Structure 1
Amino acid sequence: MQSLQISPFAHFTLRWPVAGVAVLIVLFVAWAVCRRHSARKTLLPGADVPPAWTLDDDMSGSLVDKRYRRWLRWNKAAVALLAAAGIAAAGLCARPSTIDRDTTDAARRDIVLCLDVSASTLPYDAQILSTYQSLVDHFSGERIGLSIFNSTSRTVFPLTDDYSLVKDQLEYASGLLQHVTSQESLDSMSDTDFNNLLAWLDGTENVTDASSLIGDGLVSCATMLPEFVLNADRKAADSATSTADRTGMILLATDNMTAGTELYTLQQGMDLAHQSGIAVDGLYAGDPSLVYSSEAQEMQNLIQTNGGVYEAATSDDAVDNLVRDIDSRSKASDETSQRADLRDSPALLLAALALLWMLYLAIEGALKR
């Protein structure tokens, strides 16, 4: 993101100018009333009253007291400072604001993080979530969603560019799973931690006698993308949202160990994603000793055949390779957009008010001595 450099006084505005004017009017009325009340206390001599000599008369000659004249000047300065402080207070009530204009390079990619949370992958999911977090740190402008699946799927959060929410959700999930390494670790968890984990996994085991239905999980993740088209007779460009011209991607993390009857096989899920123009990258999430198993090899072949990147989560280059692949995929060039934010900017007037008030108090204190 590149910010336009502007003068601190450029694009300055008052949100509530009427409030500022109202405060000025109130201050003026209060001053006028006080002055009138003070004038009424002054006794004007009548026609039959002999003239009275005042201190001004005594000091209007050559023996003018310089200290008295200085006192008059400081008194006028105090009044001026008090008036200026009133104007500053009125300005604060008018709510001074500035318009900040930013230029942003907005990526036009939608990425769904698709995580297998079956029993065989759960001990390794904390590492997958850590990889997801590292990927998010490289993103700027992409919309991100997270779906978890076992026999059924649950959307943890839909596509969003609120990166603080994304990071909070990933950190929370990683914290839940960081100590899950085996069945024994589950048995030794506190009741609170175990219940929190069950609540997070709720909705992923709604089909009995089945687990890790990879193809179904992949299709569920694909449906989160506006680019997804289920009907094979239609093209992705025919979808209602295709005019957005965004690139849809799925980052599938699983060990491809299916148990049970699927509605969609992994092959069918990949075909549906491919016909919708959705790219699928893969992360192996499972026992490292099975990284070359037939199931893992099938997943790798299907992903690479469809142009995706396949990585083991333990690979040192996994994040860099995935980031390069994501950056290389876009239906349209990333666009530069401008954003204007109206922000409160009371600092200058607050500082001025504080300075004026301190000077007034200092002069007022000197006048009383």
Structure 2
Amino acid sequence: MSLVNIGLVIGWVVVAAAVVLVVVLRRRAHRGEDAAVHVAHGERLTALPGYARALRRYRMLLATVLVAATLLSAAAVILSGRLVSLTTVQPEMRNRDIVLCLDVSGSMIDYDAQIVETFSQLTEEFDGERIGLVLFNASAVTSFPLTSDYAYAREQLDALHADLVDPDTDWAFANGTLLGNGSSMIGDGLASCVMRFDDLDTERSRSIVFATDNYVAGEQIMTLPEAGEFAQSKDVLVFGLNPGDVESLDYIGEFADEMREVVEGTGGSYWALDDPNAVPSIVEQVQERQAERFTGEPILVVTDEPTFPVLAGFAALAAVMFAGWRLRR
């Protein structure tokens, strides 16, 4: 119930109490007239100390009713005007933008399922961050843009995970990722993920979790080192996760070295997927190192302050009821 409605209710209570009091007093007066007995030398009666005390009490009770009703009416009027206090606050905000950038070429599908599952769980821990998902192969598509609607993000990530592990999947999630000359355009994929950040003029922490084996099989527009420089120019940190960096695959060592050099050059970190701490470590570093604090826009806070008039109104109402009850005796 709003304060205005509370004030109206109290106002009606005052009116009702006043009407009841008037009716009671008039009925009592009529009964007194009907039962009146004229007595000679009444001034002797009125001069008695007991009579004087009763008269003083009666007048005191009437004065109490008058004062309490006035106070009750004043409280109702004040409440109907809605007492508030105004304060201005500038909240401190912590915001991050995180793009999960996934290579969905054939060699990455099994690893992507593990990564997507982990990030679906981690969205439950975010508070103020925006997360987006970009899938790339020969070209990049946005699975969902940067958003703080975590329920929606988890729904999309869970649906993607289900498609990735489904042996009968129709691969619909990869639509739009084959529009290029070849496959696994790693540099183009990273550059495309950098371009998914918006409001680059605002103070927000920006990170990319870049999952790829860095095995290029086509003609790129931008090489991986060039894409790394592009990320640096936009103050974007890249955290690399390479499922192809395993000791048994010596022939891809140069790909792993190049990826490590690029992501560390942006200020990020690099892990091989067989490191059991890889994904948790990436998330931990994103949360610890990339929590940008800044002051938000001033907010006008309106706080209702009804306590005193409400208490005064209830006290006055109790006084009216008590005095009315005493007057009937």
TM-score, length of structure 1 as denominator length: 0.56
Change over 3 Å in CA distance of 1:59–1:174 after alignment to 2: farther
Change over 3 Å in CA distance of 1:183–1:167 after alignment to 2: closer
Gaps of 5+ in 2: 27-37
- Equivalents in 1 of 2:175, 2:145: separation in Å? 18
- Counterpart of 1:90 (choices 73, 77, 87) is 77
The answer to whether structure 1 residue 318 and structure 2 residue 282 are counterparts is: yes
- Equivalents in 2 of 1:181, 1:364: separation in Å? 79
The answer to whether structure 1 residue 206 and structure 2 residue 176 are counterparts is: yes
Give 1:325 deviation, angstroms: 3.4
Q: Which residue of 1 aligns with 2:261?
A: 301
Change over 3 Å in CA distance of 1:326–1:362 after alignment to 2: same
Q: Which residue of 2 aligns with 1:353?
A: 313
User: Do the aligned residues in 1 keep the contact of 2:141 with 2:177 (CA within 8 Å)?
Assistant: no
Q: Helix, strand or coil: the match of 1:278?
A: coil
- Counterpart of 2:116 (choices 125, 135, 143) is 125
For the pair shown, which has the larger CA radius of gyration, 1 or 2?
2
Q: Which residue of 1 aligns with 2:65?
A: 78
Task: Read off the aligned partner of 1:284 and give its amino acid letter.
Answer: L
The answer to whether structure 1 residue 284 and structure 2 residue 241 are counterparts is: yes
Q: Helix, strand or coil: the match of 2:84?
A: strand
The answer to whether structure 1 residue 183 and structure 2 residue 166 are counterparts is: yes
- Counterpart of 1:218 (choices 190, 203, 206) is 190
Name the count of aligned residue pairs: 286
Change over 3 Å in CA distance of 1:325–1:72 after alignment to 2: same
Give 1:97 deviation, angstroms: 1.8
Task: Read off the aligned partner of 2:194 and give its amino acid letter.
Answer: A
Give 1:214 deviation, angstroms: 4.5
Identical positions, percent? 13
User: Do the aligned residues in 2 keep the contact of 1:117 with 1:125 (CA within 8 Å)?
Assistant: no
- Equivalents in 2 of 1:281, 1:157: separation in Å? 18
Q: Helix, strand or coil: the match of 1:64?
A: helix
Give 1:270 deviation, angstroms: 1.8
Task: Read off the aligned partner of 1:72 and give its amino acid letter.
Answer: R
Change over 3 Å in CA distance of 1:110–1:64 after alignment to 2: same
User: Which is worse superposed, 88-97 or 351-360?
Assistant: 351-360
Report 1:1-369 matches (<5 A): 60-62=46-48, 63-64=50-51, 66-102=53-89, 104-106=91-93, 111-116=97-102, 118=104, 119-120=109-110, 121-131=112-122, 133-134=124-125, 136-137=126-127, 144-150=130-136, 151-154=139-142, 156-158=144-146, 165-173=148-156, 175-176=158-159, 182-184=165-167, 205-208=175-178, 214-225=186-197, 241=201, 246=203, 249-256=206-213, 263-274=221-232, 276-284=233-241, 298-311=258-271, 314-315=276-277, 316-326=280-290, 339-348=298-307, 349-368=309-328
Q: Helix, strand or coil: the match of 1:95?
A: coil
Give 1:122 deviation, angstroms: 3.5
Task: Read off the aligned partner of 2:227 and give its amino acid letter.
Answer: G
User: Do the aligned residues in 2 keep the contact of 1:99 with 1:342 (CA within 8 Å)?
Assistant: yes
Change over 3 Å in CA distance of 1:250–1:217 after alignment to 2: farther
Give 1:362 deviation, angstroms: 4.3
Query: What is the CA deviation profile of residues 281-302 of structure 1, one whole-angstrom value per residue up to 9, with x for unaligned ones?
Result: 2152769979986555543332
Give 1:125 deviation, angstroms: 0.3
